[in-house]
Amino acid sequence: MALRKTADDQWTSTGVKSTFIVDMPSDLLSESSSPTGSTVCGWGWYFSCSLGPQSTTESPILLGTNSTPIPWRRMTVTFYPHLIANAPYGRITFDVAVRHLRLENEIFETEMDLPASHHPTLGAYMLRSDESAPVTIEITVQFPKSIGLVLPSPRDARVDRALAGTIRGQEITDVKFYAYTRVGDGYVASPRPLFAKLSLLAGRSDALDTYLTAISESELVDLDCDNAPEEQFAGYDYMSDSDLDDEEDERSALVFDLNDVAPSPLETEMSIPEPEPKMVSSASKSAEIQGTVMDPILPETPTLPDPAPPAFPAPPMTRRMGRVIIVKGFAFQTWNAFLYYLYTHQVAFRTLGSKPASQSTEIPKCSAKSMYKLAEYFDLDDLKNLALNSLRTQLSAGNIVRETFSTFSSMFAEIQDIEVAFLLQRIPEVAIALGTMLRSVCDGEKPKAHDVLCKIIRHGTPAPLGRLSPGPAPGGQRKSKGRSISGW
């Protein structure tokens, strides 16, 4: 008996899935119990399977079609870290899926910490002696997202099909998205187009596929002659989106640019001399009247006859037909980076608080907050985790108060919990900034601060507050030895 790979390893952003078929012996009941290993998986580990003793009258019973007991043997699957045994990867997890095997009523290891020297057992199964269907095992090894592994992935088959379609004349784009680029006072403005191919976007999540299906059922239009959407849209739900340029800044920049190119007073007062009149001979005048231009210096150029019409007239210009969608929930910069991620599995985030820059041919960058919001909407866990990790690594004592009380934090409990925990660990460092923020809350400038205040009060622990420490206790009251967060 042996574990035989049925396909190449499948690589994801955080792990590797290996699929095996169990090569069964001709006589399962007489097969030896020595373990057999698989080929090397991932970048240096492997698995093994081994047979235990036959079932006995005291073993759990497997019944056949006629309710007669069927002999079986115990098959154990083990993980061997091998080349990664000493790697400082931290905790890795295992996910095992089997077909035509029954798991015994035992709990086995689903995770281990690296480096490690032991070989965890991933499962023990009851293998029927009369099993004729192929027995398959899928094992996925997941690594912590925090270690930042960049795992290789094979080219998507959808890309191959799309490229093959261009050979037959199919268009490489069949959908046109309009997304807004600027934010004004209560509205977004200035939509810009982005193009994509629907078949290259599907297959990431049910929510995204539902959205794309609705697009595919919309009306076909000429992508080059469509009507642009309204210049402004007032229903945007995230006006503090940093992927939107501020319209006032754009107007100021435009005025500045116009002043830069305006002519100087000296230039406006200068007169441009008129060209001298050209002397034309009587012969050339006569030629102009007759329709042939003659120059007294250059020799006469004969008029060529009109070319003959082509034997086959050129076909009319082919129209690019597709669907047009107006994106009203996400900014142009976010949608651009999202389409790039769906095509390439690569995403790049700007630093917190920075504004969008002009895009180049490199990976388009976007706000990690905006991409987290988009990934949450479409149930894209891998993309959401990438955005979350980017946000987590950028938190600091200098920005944590602002981020904790931001509109974005109030929209997502997971983000808010992380930021509250970070804030509570740095109370002495942020006491002054926090006091200023609490004054803004009391003045009504933070109407969505209720939840975050409740979490701070609930999870606060006694800590020295420096300038926020209480003054003398009123008469008749005893001054407490410590001051909890709830006492602010």
Q: Please spell the DSSP secondary structure of 195-221, one letter per residue.
A: EE-GGGT-SS-HHHHHHHHHHHTS--E
Report residue 274's pLDDT band, with 50, 70 and 90 as the boundaries: very low
What is the pLDDT, as a whole number, of residue 356? Answer: 66
The yes-or-no verdict on residue 163 having pLDDT over 90 is no
What is the pLDDT, as a whole number, of residue 479? Answer: 38
Three-state secondary structure call for residue 392: helix
What is the pLDDT, as a whole number, of residue 101? Answer: 85
More confident of the two residues 61 and 51? 51
State mean pLDDT over 18-24: 88
More confident of the two residues 85 and 147? 85
State mean pLDDT over 153-166: 77
Report residue 318's pLDDT band, with 50, 70 and 90 as the boundaries: low
Record the tokens describing residue 85, joined without a space: 């045994």
State mean pLDDT over 297-307: 50
Torsions phi, psi of 125, nearest 5? -130, 155
- Average pLDDT score, the chain: 78
Report residue 29's pLDDT band, with 50, 70 and 90 as the boundaries: low
State mean pLDDT over 82-94: 92
The yes-or-no verdict on residue 483 having pLDDT over 90 is no
Per residue in 91-131, pLDDT (tens digit) is: 999 999 888 888 776 667 789 999 998 899 998 888 887 77
Q: Name the nearest CA neighbour of 74 among 38, 108, 49, 46.
A: 49
Torsions phi, psi of 28, nearest 5? -60, -40
What is the pLDDT, as a whole number, of residue 107? Answer: 60
State mean pLDDT over 144-163: 73
The yes-or-no verdict on residue 264 having pLDDT over 60 is no
- Can you tell me the distance from the alpha carbon of 92 to that of 81, in angstroms, rounded to the nearest whole number? 11
What is the pLDDT, as a whole number, of residue 289? Answer: 33
Report residue 462's pLDDT band, with 50, 70 and 90 as the boundaries: very low
Counts for the chain of helices (H) and strands (E), in that order = 13, 19
- Can you tell me the distance from the alpha carbon of 378 to that of 201, in angstroms, rounded to the nearest whole number? 12
Contact 338, 190 (CB under 8 A): no
State mean pLDDT over 70-87: 90
What is the pLDDT, as a whole number, of residue 357? Answer: 64
- Can you tell me the distance from the alpha carbon of 232 to that of 218, in angstroms, rounded to the nearest whole number? 23
High-pLDDT (> 70) share of the chain, %: 72
β-bridge pairing 102-103 and 121-128: antiparallel
Per residue in 340-397, pLDDT (tens digit) is: 999 988 899 998 876 666 655 578 999 999 999 999 999 999 899 999 989 988 999 9
What is the pLDDT, as a whole number, of residue 162? Answer: 83
Q: Name the nearest CA neighbour of 247 among 190, 204, 299, 165.
A: 190
Report residue 194's pLDDT band, with 50, 70 and 90 as the boundaries: very high
The pTM of this model reads 0.56
What is the pLDDT, as a whole number, of residue 74? Answer: 84
Record the tokens describing residue 334, joined without a space: 């976010």
Report residue 215's pLDDT band, with 50, 70 and 90 as the boundaries: very high
Residues in CB range of 109: below 8 A, 6 or more apart: 94, 120, 121, 122
State mean pLDDT over 218-245: 89
Where do the structural domains in the chain lie, given as residue ranges?
A: 2-56+69-145, 157-246+320-366, 395-470+483-488
More confident of the two residues 478 and 399? 399
Q: What is the distance of C-alpha 86 from the center of its chain?
A: 31
What is the pLDDT, as a whole number, of residue 256? Answer: 38
What is the pLDDT, as a whole number, of residue 84? Answer: 94
Neighbours of 74 (CB within 10 A): 17
The yes-or-no verdict on residue 266 having pLDDT over 90 is no
What is the pLDDT, as a whole number, of residue 48? Answer: 92
More confident of the two residues 285 and 418? 418
CA dihedral 25, 28, 32, 37 (to 10 degrees): 50
β-bridge pairing 111-114 and 175-183: unpaired
What is the pLDDT, as a whole number, of residue 36? Answer: 78
What is the pLDDT, as a whole number, of residue 334? Answer: 96
Neighbours of 457 (CB within 10 A): 13
Amino acid (1-letter code) at residue 132: S
Three-state secondary structure call for residue 166: helix
Q: What crossing angle do the helices spanning 381-393 and 413-424 adopt, rounded to 10°?
A: 20
What is the pLDDT, as a whole number, of residue 332? Answer: 96
What is the pLDDT, as a whole number, of residue 153? Answer: 61
What is the pLDDT, as a whole number, of residue 138? Answer: 92
